[in-house]
Amino acid sequence: MKRSLPLPRPMFAGVAVLALLAGCGSGGGPSVSGSASETSKSESGLSSLWAKVRGLTVESGKTVEMPALGLIADAFLRDGQVRGANSRTLTEGAIFESGRPIPAFETQIADSAKSLRDELARTKPEDRADWLKQTPLDLDHVAYASPILIALQPRKGWEVDAIDDCHVDPQFDTPFFRKNRPPCRYDREAHIRYMELLAISAIYTNDVFARLGEELGGTRLVDPDAASARVLAAYQAIPAADLAAALKRASSQVIGGRFSTDLTGSGNIHFTHSAAGDFVGDARGLTWTKAGGVWFGDSRIAGQSVNFRLASTSSLSQTRSQQGHDGVSGGADVQGAGGVGAGK
């Protein structure tokens, strides 16, 4: 009997020999069987994880020089605007007052501080809190900022009658003209007080600004808004007694001198004091000239061009990130079996 056993592929050499032996056997010969097994696995893998972070930062810093007068003036003007201060009202209040003689300017400012405290004491608590939030200055410093606002106010033309229309040429001084002439509007006292007020305000403001310029001159400020905050903080730090003394010194330079008025029709306010110097009021505010040079105004404080340093910086930052994973794998499996037994 001839028998053959099917074997799985692939066939290996040992199994082939057994098969040949089985094929040569007769009916009563031995039986042949075989077994084979193979496992093959191939795996190829590529795994990568990367993170690329690229940061780009561009920083450019430079120092910008700006006139200290402009930055300091801007701080006071903005604070006065927030508080609703009106420099024209302040001016008129310092010149005209009915019922009693007008006190000296420094006395008026001290009285103003007291009036502000009394008025605030009568205000409702919620309104008082709202008012105090409007400014970083206390009431004394608010009052002593009034001459500064007066000095900084842009002006075009006189705010009082500066031309003496009471004097009449003798050839027109007839009964007919006296009867039909309009009443005299000129107030010599108001005219003099007006010039005193402007001169004192300019001298006092120059004194205060010089102190602020010295305080902040070595500081590198961040921007104009930060500069304004620093200016008001430095002003608030000046004792009120020092401000009162500065105002009194300014008054002493003006009171007792002689004023002369320039009425050439330039459109500006122009007058001269025999001891203090020359004063012009125009769109720039008050400009004070003495000893042959500009002492206050036109970007000058105490006769010097004082600048503040402002820092200007910009930055740009960019970040990019990538990550990934790659992989390849494979496998194969082959099995077989065979056997040999005795024949019958």
pLDDT of residue 137: 93
**Is-contact 64 38, C-beta < 8 A?**
no
- Sheet with 54-67, strands from edge to edge, namely 54-67, 307-320, 220-221
pLDDT band, residue 50 (cuts 50/70/90): very low
pLDDT, the chain, mean = 75
For 242-274, the pLDDT digits (tens) are 999 999 999 999 988 899 999 887 778 999 999
Residue 28 pLDDT > 60: no
**Global pTM value:** 0.69
60 Cα distance to chain centroid: 18
* Sign of the torsion angle spanned by Cα atoms 180, 185, 187, 191: negative
pLDDT of residue 266: 73
Domain assignments of the chain as residue spans, ordered by start: 1-38, 57-161+188-317
